[in-house]
């Protein structure tokens, strides 16, 4: 007994239609010396389940009740996702006893380029802090499972002290178990000849299913960041399928657009980008998005008082931000990945760090109760503030002029049309597609 640990494997595809709580567990013993080899074999032999590996020589955070039986002084998880399941008490180590409670973060599309940049930022402590241990859950597809194994191996080999668990899987009901943050990146890109309505339906099905899984097994206060396009309407679909989770917990990523807008304003004004504040992206993450130069500031001074070229602001600046993703694809041969990962980090930090006085940030959130006169029940990028507790509030006292309001109404109309097109996925009845002209960004971020 002293030379072994208890481990469990959740069974695979034959039970994939059951909830995780309904699926049986198979227990066995393994010797400490054999654990690494068995871990590798399990990934191949149980490819439909969720597979877990821990960073070598790292002390694990306890995730079970204190009454759980111990083996050789170590706490054992009663229900874990993989074959390397022993956890250790962080409080017993002088170096880690002051750390926070472990949080669980799931990343979908985890074998993709955006995730490849993001995961290492998460694991390093750059995002949630250098006293915050984390568990990473990597969600992929049958086709990407081998690549997920490679990603998990790289994370292990990096020996991040804060990374306490790495799990991979293709079943969202298993991978989403108890997660505190869901970063939903995976989505089908728009290919040649694919109509917008078809892409909305294809990706909408993905996010409807993921919303149901989050609703069933995630933490009830899970924060959800939707990145996969079309992210606004995907976020709406996801939250509509997760009624047990507060709608305010769902965000569509428009921070990359905000960062792009700040960059262009800084270039024009001849200042560094950190001098630009109060930048809002209104509306959809598409070419109808509205970068707001009316309320933005440069070193505390309204942008229009620093940049007097109104024609540049209304035309060249606005179009540069709206079309930046498409231009990058033409230049680079692929969609943005590193800058998207950075913007995800920025978006998370905006929710877990108090917003500086007088400033705000952009996020695609549910419009219900907004003070701006924007239609309810769509996910629309708006100015938000946070106390650093993961929640947000709308910003009051925002100025509008005719130019800004007319642009906002155009992007609102597009999102309302997208909503009608996915009525079958939001519980509102049959879909009716009357989408306006082709305004979606080309496939990706």
* Statement: residue 40 has pLDDT above 50: no
- The whole-number pLDDT of residue 18 equals 36
Q: What percent of the chain has pLDDT over 90?
A: 67
**What pLDDT, on the 0 to 100 scale, is given for residue 193?**
64
Average pLDDT score over residue span 384-400: 98
End-to-end Cα distance, the chain? 52
pLDDT in tens, 331-390: 988 889 999 999 999 999 999 999 999 999 999 999 999 999 999 999 999 999 999 999
Given a contact cutoff of 8 angstroms between Cβ atoms, the answer to whether 253 and 346 are in contact is no
The model's confidence at residue 34, banded by pLDDT at 50, 70 and 90, is very low
pLDDT above 70: residue 294: yes
Q: Backbone phi, then psi, for 382, in 5-degree steps?
A: -145, 165
Report d(CA 383, CA 398) in Å as an integer: 9
Query: What whole-number distance in Å separates Cα of residue 384 and Cα of residue 392?
Result: 6
- The mean pLDDT value for 138-159 works out to 91
CA 288/CA 295 separation, integer angstroms = 18
Polymer length in residues for the chain: 445
Tell me the mean pLDDT in the region 93-122.
94
Mean pLDDT lowest among 52-56, 87-91, 386-390: 52-56
Lowest-confidence region among 8-12, 304-308, 391-395: 8-12
CA atoms 137, 143, 144, 149: torsion sign:
positive
What's the pLDDT at 441? 52
Dihedral sign for Cα 440, 345, 321, 335, please. Answer: negative
Angle (nearest 5°) at CA 188 between 182 and 190: 135
Spatial distance between the Cα atoms of 259 and 13, rounded to a whole number of angstroms: 42
CA geometry: angle 237, 240, 244, nearest 5 deg: 140
Instruction: Using the predicted structure, report yes or no on whether residue 85 has a pLDDT greater than 60.
Output: no
**pLDDT reported for residue 44:** 37
Residue 48 falls in the annotated catalytic set: no
Average pLDDT value for residue range 305-315: 98
Rounded-to-integer distance, Cα 137 and Cα 124, Å: 15
Res. 49 pLDDT band, cuts 50 70 90:
low
Query: What is the mean pLDDT of the segment spanning 97-108?
Result: 95
Q: Name the packing angle between helices 402-421 and 196-217 (round to 10°).
A: 80
pLDDT at 363: 99
* pLDDT(54) > 50: no
Residue 121: band (very low, low, confident or very high) from pLDDT cuts 50, 70, 90? very high
Helices 318-332 and 255-269 pack at an angle, to 10 degrees, of 110
Q: Rounded to an integer, what distance in angstroms lies between the CA atom of residue 113 and that of residue 115?
A: 5
- Mean pLDDT across the chain: 82
Give dist(CA 250, CA 238) in Å, integer.
8
Asked if the model's pLDDT at residue 94 lies above 60, the reply is yes
CA-wise closest residue to 184 among 423, 422, 431, 364? 364
Domains of the chain: 255-426 (3.90.110.10)
Active-site hit among 48, 51, 285, 397? 285
Q: What is the mean pLDDT of residues 58-87?
A: 36
Say which range, 201-205, 285-289, 332-336, has the weakest mean pLDDT: 332-336
User: What whole-number distance in Å separates Cα of residue 17 and Cα of residue 25?
Assistant: 15
Number of C-beta neighbours around residue 274 at 10 A: 9
3-class SS letters over the chain: CCCEEEEEEECCHHHCCCCHHHCCEEEEEEEHHHHHHHHHHHHHHCCCCCEEECCCCCCCCCCCCCCCCEECCEEECCCCCECCCEECCHHHCCCCCCCCCCEEEEEECCCCHHHHHHHHHHHHCCCCCCCCCEEEEEECCCCCHHHHHHHHHHHHHCCCCCEEEEEEECCHHHHCCCCCEEEECCCCCCCCCCCHHHHHHHHHHHHHHHHHHHHHHCCCCCEEEECCCCHHHHHHHHHHCCCCCCHHHEEECCHHHHHHHHHHHHHHHCCCHHHEECCEEEECCCCCCEEECCCCEECCEEHHHHCCCHHHHHHHHHHHHHHHHHHHHHHHCCCCCHHHHHHHHHHHHHHHCCCCCCCCEEEEEECCCCCCCCCCCCEEEEEEECCCCCCCEECCCCCCCHHHHHHHHHHHHHHHHHHHHCHHHHCCCCCCCCCCCCCCCCCCC
Q: Give the Cα separation of 161 and 143 in Å (integer).
A: 30
Separation CA 76–CA 381 (nearest Å)? 44
d(CA 259, CA 276): 10
pLDDT of 246 reads 99
Per-residue model confidence (pLDDT) at position 372: 98
Q: What pLDDT shows up at residue 88?
A: 56
Q: Please check the confidence at residue 168 and state whether its pLDDT lies above 50.
A: yes
């Amino acid at each position: 007994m002293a030379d072994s640990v208890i481990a469990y494997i959740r069974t695979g595809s034959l039970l994939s239609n059951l909830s995780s709580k309904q699926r049986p567990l198979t227990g066995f013993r393994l010797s400490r010396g054999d654990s690494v080899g068995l871990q590798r074999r399990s990934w191949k032999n149980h490819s439909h389940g969720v597979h877990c590996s821990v960073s070598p020589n790292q002390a694990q955070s306890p995730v079970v009740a204190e009454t759980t039986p111990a083996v050789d002084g170590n706490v054992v998880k009663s229900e874990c996702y993989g074959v390397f399941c022993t956890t250790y008490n962080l409080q017993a180590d002088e170096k880690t006893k002051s750390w926070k409670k472990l949080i669980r973060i799931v990343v979908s599309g985890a074998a993709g380029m955006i995730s490849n940049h993001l995961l290492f930022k998460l694991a390093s402590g750059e995002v949630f802090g250098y006293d915050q241990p984390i568990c990473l859950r990597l969600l992929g597809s049958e086709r990407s499972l081998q690549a997920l194994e490679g990603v998990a191996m790289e994370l292990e080999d990096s020996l991040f002290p804060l990374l306490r668990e790495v799990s991979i899987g293709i079943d969202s009901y298993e991978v989403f178990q108890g997660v505190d943050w869901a970063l939903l990146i995976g989505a089908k890109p728009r290919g040649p000849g694919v109509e917008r309505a078809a892409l909305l339906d294809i990706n909408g099905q993905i996010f409807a299913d993921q919303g149901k899984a989050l609703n069933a097994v995630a933490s009830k206060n899970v924060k959800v960041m939707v990145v996969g396009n079309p992210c606004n309407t995907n976020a709406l679909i996801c939250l509509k399928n997760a009624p047990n989770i507060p709608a305010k917990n769902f965000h569509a990523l428009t921070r990359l657009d905000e960062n792009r807008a700040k960059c262009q304003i800084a270039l024009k004004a001849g200042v560094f980008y950190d001098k630009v504040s109060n930048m809002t992206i209104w509306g959809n993450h598409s070419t109808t998005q509205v970068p707001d130069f009316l309320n933005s500031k440069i070193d505390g001074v309204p942008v229009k008082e620093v940049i007097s070229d109104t024609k540049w602001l209304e035309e060249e600046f606005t179009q540069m931000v709206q079309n930046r993703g498409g231009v990058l694809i033409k230049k680079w041969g692929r969609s943005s990945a590193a800058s998207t990962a950075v913007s995800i980090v920025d978006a998370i930090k905006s929710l877990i760090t108090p917003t500086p006085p007088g400033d705000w940030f952009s996020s695609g959130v549910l419009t219900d109760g907004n003070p701006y006169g924007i239609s309810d029940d769509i996910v629309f990028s708006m100015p938000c503030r946070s106390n650093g507790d993961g929640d947000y509030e709308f910003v009051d006292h925002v100025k509008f002029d005719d130019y800004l309001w007319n642009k906002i109404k155009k992007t609102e109309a597009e999102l309302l049309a997208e909503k009608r097109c996915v009525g079958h996925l939001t519980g509102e009845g049959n879909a009716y597609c009357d989408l306006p002209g082709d305004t979606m960004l080309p496939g990706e971020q």
